[in-house]
A = this chain, B = another copy of it.
Amino acid sequence: MKAAVLYSGGKDSSLMAVILQRLGYHVELLTANFDVFPSWKPAKEAADNLGFKHQILKANPEILEEAVEKILKDGFPNQGIKHLHNKVLYLAAQNYNLLADGTRRDDRVPKIRLNEIQSLEDTKSVQYLNLAGWGHRTINQLSEKLFKIKKEPTSMKNNSDYEIEIRYLMGQKEGENMASKLFPPHTQSRVIGWREDE
């Protein structure tokens, strides 16, 4: 049984991948890229270090344009990121019977709703799953047990979230100030490999 996990190199999607692998799935990690900035690199590095197969999911730059326009119009990133993620789910679903991501219970970005999940599953004949039943405390506890983790300020070079290409395109279109205002600097936890006792 093959399963794909949309992968950022962060704790949530890494844990989702480990769960499916330990249940017996052949897991492939996918990192979406819109051909604007090679933000997939840190995710690939994490996947390699964990020993997972990794692929770049090449997506149409127009989807990124749409997301950036939405975010500029809204004045905050949540709906734009959700739009991007939904498009990426449909794209990834073309090639897999089971598709997962690391969405957790207390994610700030709006979660895909039940009716949206049903549409995705019915339209694409796919099973979709995530960590919507798991909170950040459990995910942090498990991640510290399983993974070597590096905490550091997010930069363009150490993060594979959608945010990076959005920022890059927004910086080109509207200047760095706008990008920094909508995506203020923050600290991130990044998976860099297995803990030695795992």
Q: Considering the complex, which residues of chain A in the window 106-155 have a beta carbon less than 8 Å from any beta carbon of chain B?
A: 114, 117, 121, 127-135, 137-138, 141-142, 145-146
Q: How far is the CB of A22 from chain B (nearest CB, A)?
A: 4
> What B residues does A131 contact at CB under 8 A?
133
User: Can you tell how many copies of this chain the complex includes?
Assistant: 2
The total of chain A residues at the interface (CB under 8 A) is 27
- Asked whether any CB of chain B lies closer than 8 Å to the CB of A105, the reply is yes
A-side interface mostly:
mixed
Contact assessment for A145 and B18 in the assembled complex, using a CB-CB cutoff below 8 Å: no
Determine the distance from Cα of A24 to Cα of B24 in the docked complex, in whole angstroms: 16
Complex-state Cα separation, A141 to B114, whole angstroms: 20
- Which partner residue on chain B sits nearest A97 by CB separation? B141
Residues of B within 8 A of A133 (CB): 103, 129-134
The chain B residue with its CB closest to the CB of A130 is B133
Is A135 a contact partner of B127 (Cβ separation < 8 A)? yes
5 tightest CB-CB pairs across the interface, nearest first? A132-B133, A130-B133, A22-B22, A127-B138, A129-B134
Q: List 27 A-B pairs, Cβ < 8 Å.
A: A18-B23, A19-B19, A19-B22, A19-B23, A22-B22, A22-B23, A23-B142, A23-B145, A24-B142, A24-B145, A103-B133, A105-B114, A105-B117, A105-B132, A117-B135, A121-B137, A127-B137, A127-B138, A127-B141, A128-B135, A129-B133, A129-B134, A129-B135, A131-B133, A132-B132, A132-B133, A133-B134
